[in-house]
Amino acid sequence: MTAHCDRDGRDDPDGTLRIRLSLPEIDALCLKAARGAGYSWGVAEEASFAARWLAARGLPGPAMLLAHLQRFDGKGWDEIVPVVGDVWSARKGGVLCALAVGSALSDRADLPGNRSTDALRIDGLASPMLILPFVQQNARAQHANLSVCWGRYEAVLSENGFTLAAEESLVDRDEPAVVVIRRVDRPARPTVAGADCLLENATMRGLSAFAHRTYVPATARSRAGAGAASSDND
């Protein structure tokens, strides 16, 4: 996969060439990238779930995840995790991580406090679009339609539906924003998930660089142990 990207990228100084990845490939790449960026394996699974969910709906999930990983690279969990109260915010007024927020939302889907009709406000959430997959999990768990509003965006998530209203360009999609989640009556249009996604080479390279941090350099001993103990020419 990496080799292929490099080959495609050779005549591509701007990194604008694109490569088609299947959803399982996106899953595997994003899992390793999030882990490489320092998230625990369990949160990294949420990251790959979110990137794949968005990619399957025609949104640049892997690119959003990459921007997210770059923003939070080197930050400690305590800095980026929400203090869960009436309003969710970061401990010292910093920027909130969408993976931490998304995981916490999804974990609370069945808690009574989360089923109220009151709106939930989340302050200073970076890459807000990354929480949409988790909000849909909640919509499923609660059999509800949930609206997520921030800036000039509004998404509605239902058990099997998803609509996103936004101006054409997603140029500010990664910027921190105040996000409000509330119940709404109207369900979102049912969506049919796609099976693959086009990644720009720069995204592929960026995620691969994070993933690379999870690999262990080979030693003579590790090479020797990996194969059969006998010849394959028989």
User: Which residues of this chain interact with another protein, rule CB under 8 A?
Assistant: 1-4, 7, 20-25, 32, 39-43, 45-46, 49, 77, 81-82, 84, 100, 103-104, 106-111, 137, 141, 193, 195-196, 212-219, 221-223, 225-230, 232-234
Q: What's the closest the beta carbon of residue 53 comes to another protein, in angstroms?
A: 10
For the record, the structure tokens of 136 come out as: 């849909």
Of 131 and 149, nearer to another protein (C-beta) is 131
What's the min distance (Å) between Cβ of 234 and another protein? 6
Least separation in angstroms between residue 201's CB and another protein is 14
Provide the CA 51 distance to its chain's centre, in angstroms. 4
CB atoms < 10 A from the CB of 95, how many?
Answer: 19
Which is closer to another protein, CB of 45 or CB of 154? Answer: 45
Taking the least distance from each CB to another protein, the nearer of 77 and 167 is: 77
Query: Can you say whether residue 6 is alpha, beta or left, with left for phi > 0 and alpha for psi between -120 and 50 degrees?
Result: alpha
Q: What sign does the CA torsion over 39, 42, 48, 52 have?
A: negative
Distance CA 208, CA 110 (A): 36
As measured in angstroms, the least distance from the Cβ of 210 to another protein is 13
Q: Is 46 exposed, middle or buried (0-12, 13-18, 19+ CB in 10 A)?
A: buried
Pick between residue 189 and residue 212 the one whose CB is nearest to another protein.
Answer: 212
| Least distance in angstroms from the C-beta of 8 to another protein | 9
